[in-house]
Amino acid sequence: MKLQALTPPTPLFFFFFFTTLLFSPTESTQPPYACDSSQPSTSSYPFCKTTLPINQRVQDLVSRLTLDEKISQLVNSAPSIPRLGIPSYEWWSEALHGVADVGKGINLYGTISNATSFPQVILTAASFNEHLWYRIGQVIGTEARALYNAGQATGMTFWAPNINIFRDPRWGRGQETPGEDPLVVGKYAVSYVRGVQGDSFEGGKLKVGGRLQASACCKHFTAYDLDNWKSVTRFGFDARVSEQDLADTYQPPFKSCVQQGQASGIMCAYNRVNGVPSCADYNLLTKVARGQWDFHGYITSDCDAVSIIRDVQGYAKTPEDAVGDVLKAGMDVNCGSYLKDHTKSAVQQKKLDVSEIDRALHNLFSIRMRLGLFDGSPLEQPYGNIGPDQACSKEHQALALEAAQDGIVLLKNSGRLLPLPKSKAISLAVIGPNANASEALLGNYHGRPCKSITPLKALQGYAKYTNYEAGCDTVKCPQATIDKAVEAAKAADYVVLIMGLDQSQEREAHDRRHLGLPGKQQELISSVAKAAKKPVILVILSGGPVDITPAKYDKKIGGILWAGYPGEAGGIALAEIIFGDHNPGGRLPVTWYTQDYVKVPMTDMRMRPDTKTGYPGRTYRFYKGGNVYHFGFGLSYSNYIYEFASAIAQNKLYLNESSISPKVESSDSGHFRLIPDLSEEFCEKKKFPVRVAVKNHGEMVGKHPVLLFVGQKNPNNGSPMKQLVGFQSVILSAGERAELEFILNPCEHLSHANEGGLMVVEEGSYFLQVGDVEYPLDIIV
């Protein structure tokens, strides 16, 4: 058994690496920093003394600022304070799936002109591989620091990851998230944040308040998953969310990001939650994040999210009220200029005390100090030796390829059509608007990639005779050149159709209205498949799910691959999978619904179904309707067989043994226990191992994610039908068998939220599930 081995890149990868690596030979500049030892007039301040605790240093710095200087620092583009030797700072930088120059803090036009562009997050999540996610975070943090050291960054705070639940398949930004499952989203957040910030994979290397490689920010807090649907926009939307859904769906990823990941930033969202703007919600920002979760970091608004509190939502009567609301709620910095424009008048009108400004500044300057920006030259500090050669290094580009390979999902492979034979003599027709579209591979929030290899170009490396027809000018496909595509298909031994979506169809501020393929794409697919000599291969590029029911049941379509937006190496990864140089193992991180799901209003935030009204519920945990493909679905060129090697003795778990005798509650449906009534010691004592054996019955080595679910035989009281409780990725050679161990904590993994938002574990019959194998489990409380 081999865990987390790096897949050796193929010769095709090395060819493209060496021929497309781009660097500009521009002279580098010094990174900006405070406390320059060559300036004794400023370096002697106590806030420059690294021997003092950061808390004391920040206190000294803030005490030296005038009111105008304080207010100037409350916005994302914080100006310099020359008399104290403090440079300007930009809080807004982006690194969703690679360092990007989308925000204001990063410049990719210097010594470093490119950064590694990984697959869009939704595809990376399909690998179900925490180690991969962590390594991607490491690369992003390293390349971010390389840019700073080269003088191409004015900030080291990156507003990623996006860890909102992909609740509705139409959401334009669902592509930015790790999917619909709270456990997956939370674990992705932890892995990414630890990697970016310089922590170890297990956590613990980076102590509270410790030195940061770069700063990660969990967004958008909270219950944000609608951008622009019909007449409703994210700016005015009031998300009505039950305490039950908040407790076990919307909030857990943020809790994990803060408590386990130790994220140093949080972004509050545009929307209101139950009537209160997220950025003005004292309960959310101060009581929950800082109080219950012990968050130590800064809280930023989304861009212009403060202004809309008055101008759109009407929650605040005046600009000064809005400023007072957000700062008193616990927000620290405003992306925009609203706080710069209205904070002084808020103080003068006695709607805001200066102590609230000082509190915010304490959080902001603490982060800048943790980044080492007040310790003299950063080049002489930890991370100061990270040079330009780290950006787009061979190792980083190989990881981008690995991420694309491991995320791509095989949805159909009738008659074992795939992989295609590796013979230069075969002829190949490559058809579709996404076949030669390099930009579509990158998704959104991307920088300038190290290279750009389209699927067409990569496939040409395998087939000497390749004929390309776009079929449609764009993915909108209002008109299709079907005749030309059909002629190309008739003449070829094999046909690969590369279709789907791009950012014109789904993006920030643009939610989809339907779930089918745009325009005449389906007509093009059906016509080509009907004309081809053999069953064709269909590749779908998309972030959100697409209803491809016709293709699923079309016997002339033999293979279907979902490739998300696979990043800079996505073209190579697709070609390698199609021709068998890589065995696909990705699993869908979202449910693929049928088109009729669009009847459900996007504005309905309920996760649980309502049988009285016919509301079907959301995500695999609660949705009771039909689907195209279920959460976790994914095929392989290998066949994997599971069995439970061991679990609970006698299939029973007793939660009625406790020295503190916690109270057993009752409801109409049976007995249950409130998790808050159970001690941590009791929950730890009741942990139990589950060992799952998995065997590769195929002929190829494969990296395979193993997903462990738990469910109730008769779910009630809003409990999920089933929920994911663990996942591991394992590499198995042909015929190899391995055993994986999952440690389950009943207080965490066998519980769900009640209507009051409290976690409970109910008595009854449960089951553990891997693949189609179940293991019965009775819980006695």
Query: Which residues, 6 or more positions from 146, have their beta carbon under 8 angstroms from its beta carbon?
Result: 112, 386, 387, 388, 390, 391
Query: Which residues, 6 or more positions from 102, have their beta carbon under 8 angstroms from its beta carbon?
Result: 94, 445, 446, 447
Dist CA 730 CA 122 (whole Å): 20
Amino acid identity for residue 753 in this structure: A
Dist CA 315 CA 325 (whole Å): 10
- Looking only at the bridges linking them, the beta strands covering 759-762 and 752-753 are antiparallel
Using DSSP's 3-state secondary structure scheme, residue 399 falls into helix
Cis (ω within 30 of 0) for the bond into 161? Answer: yes
Residue ranges of the alpha helices (H) in 387-427?
394-407
Indicate if 302 belongs to the active site: yes
Using DSSP's 3-state secondary structure scheme, residue 148 falls into helix
Cα distances (Å, whole numbers) of residue 229 to 172, 237, 270:
10, 10, 15
Count of other CB atoms within 10 angstroms of residue 231: 6
Tell me which of 302, 321, 502, 547 is the catalytic residue.
Answer: 302
Token representation of residue 280: 């003005």
Dist CA 410 CA 504 (whole Å): 25
Query: Which residues, 6 or more positions from 325, have their beta carbon under 8 angstroms from its beta carbon?
Result: 277, 280, 309, 315, 316
Query: Which residues, 6 or more positions from 285, have their beta carbon under 8 angstroms from its beta carbon?
Result: 221, 266, 268, 279, 299, 329, 330, 331
Chain-centre distance for alpha carbon 726: 18
Give the DSSP letter of residue 246. Answer: I
Query: Which residues, 6 or more positions from 601, have their beta carbon under 8 angstroms from its beta carbon?
Result: none
Cis (ω within 30 of 0) for the bond into 220? Answer: yes
Dist CA 578 CA 559 (whole Å): 9
Dist CA 244 CA 237 (whole Å): 20
Dist CA 119 CA 401 (whole Å): 9
Q: Which of 211, 218, 209 is nearest to 300 (CA)?
A: 218
Give the DSSP letter of residue 93. Answer: B
Using DSSP's 3-state secondary structure scheme, residue 694 falls into strand
Query: Which residues, 6 or more positions from 63, have their beta carbon under 8 angstroms from its beta carbon?
Result: none
Give the DSSP letter of residue 414. Answer: G
Dist CA 367 CA 297 (whole Å): 7
Tell me the catalytic residues. 302
